[in-house]
Amino acid sequence: MTTETRNGGITVMDPRAGALDANAELAPRPGKLDGKVLGLLSNGKLNAAELLQMVGEMLGEQFELKYVKEADKPDASRPAPEDTVAELARESDFAVVAIGD
């Protein structure tokens, strides 16, 4: 049942699979937030949208935001639909995403 090696031991195999190569880089940072559009992406879990709105209001008090764009996704357990992310990205200069529980 086992594979003998020259030194009398056995060879066994790795059950793991690594993630496929992925390369991503951070987007250029916004510098200043004044005059910028804030995108908020909620995963729909309880209090996620409320938390983001509070964050949006606090940022609005500190900076002259152009406006705040809100989006949410239908299913917290899956990545947001491509359309949702693309639409948010088109309008927003920076974004806040919540919540990992």
Partner 1 sequence: MHDGIELEKLGVPSAVLITDEFVNQAKAIAEIQGIPDYPFAIIPHPIGRLTPEALKGRAEAAVPQILKILEVEG
Partner 2 sequence: MAEGQLASQTFQVPDTVEAIEFYFEQGLTDGLPVVPPTPDMVARFLDASGLGAKDVVGTIPTRKREITAEKVAINAIMAGCKPEYMPVVTTAISAMCEEEFNLHGTSASTAGTGHMVLVHGPIVKDLDINYANNLFGPTKRSNATIGRAIRLIIMNVCGSIPGILDKSTFGHPGKYSYCFAENEELSPWQPLHVERGLPLESSAVTVYAGNAPIQGSDHGSHTGEGILNSIAGLMVANGMPEGGEMMVVISPEMLLHVREEGWSKQEVKNYLFEATKREYAFWDTLDRGWSSRSEPHEETDVVSVVESPDDLMVLVAGGTAGGFFCTILPWGGGTATKSVTKQIPGM
Smallest separation, CB 21 to partner 2 (Å): 8
Asked if 33 touches partner 1 (CB under 8 A), the answer is yes
**CB atoms inside a 10 Å sphere around CB 4:** 9
Structure tokens at 21: 């190569």
CA torsion angle 62 67 72 78 (round to 10): -70
40 binds, among partner 2, partner 1, none (CB under 5 to 8 A by kind): none
14 binds, among partner 1, partner 2, none (CB under 5 to 8 A by kind): partner 2
Smallest separation, CB 96 to partner 2 (Å): 21
Asked if 97 touches partner 1 (CB under 8 A), the answer is yes
